[in-house]
Amino acid sequence: MRPIWKGSISFGLVYIPVAVYPATREEKISFRQLRSTDLSPIKYKKVAEADSKEVAADQIVKGFEYERGRYVVLSDEDFEKVRIESTHSIDITDFVELEQVDPKFFYKPYFLEPQKGGEKAYTVLHKALSGTGKIGVAKVVISNREHLAAVKPDGLFLILELMHFAHEILSTEILKNGSATAVTDKELKMAQALIESMSVAWAPEKYQDEYRTALMEIIEQKAQNKQVAGKPAAAPAPTNVVDLVKVLQDSLNRTQSLKQKRASTRSSGRSTAALVKQKRRSAAYG
Contact 267/259 with Cβ under 8 angstroms? no
DSSP H/E element including 134? strand 134-142
> Which has the closest alpha carbon to 13: 121, 149, 128, 133?
121
On the question of pLDDT at 282 being above 70, the answer is no
Position 243 scores a pLDDT of 75
The SS3 call for residue 240 is coil
Q: pLDDT tens-digit profile of 32-79?
A: 999 999 999 999 899 999 999 999 999 999 999 999 999 999 988 888
Helices 244-285 and 185-197: crossing angle in degrees, nearest 10, is: 20
Portion of the chain with pLDDT greater than 70, in percent: 87
Strand partners, 141: 146
Q: pLDDT tens-digit profile of 147-203?
A: 999 999 999 999 999 999 999 998 888 788 778 788 889 989 988 998 898 898 989
On the question of pLDDT at 127 being above 80, the answer is yes
Contact 141/84 with Cβ under 8 angstroms? yes
Which residue ranges make up each domain of the chain?
5-25+82-168
Mean of pLDDT over the chain: 86
Residue 187 phi, psi (nearest 5): -65, -45
DSSP readout, 89-104?
EEEEEEEEEGGGS-GG
* Rounded-to-integer distance, Cα 235 and Cα 145, Å: 45
> Which has the closest alpha carbon to 50: 59, 38, 58?
59
For 88-100, what is the mean pLDDT?
A: 94
Beta carbons within 8 Å of 164's beta carbon, 6+ residues apart:
104, 105, 107, 148
Please give the CATH topology (third level) of the domain spanning 5-25+82-168: Ku70; Chain: A; Domain 2 (2.40.290)
* Rounded-to-integer distance, Cα 74 and Cα 80, Å: 10
> Which has the closest alpha carbon to 138: 128, 130, 147?
147
Position 233 scores a pLDDT of 65
Q: What pTM does this model have? A: 0.73
- 85: which DSSP letter? S
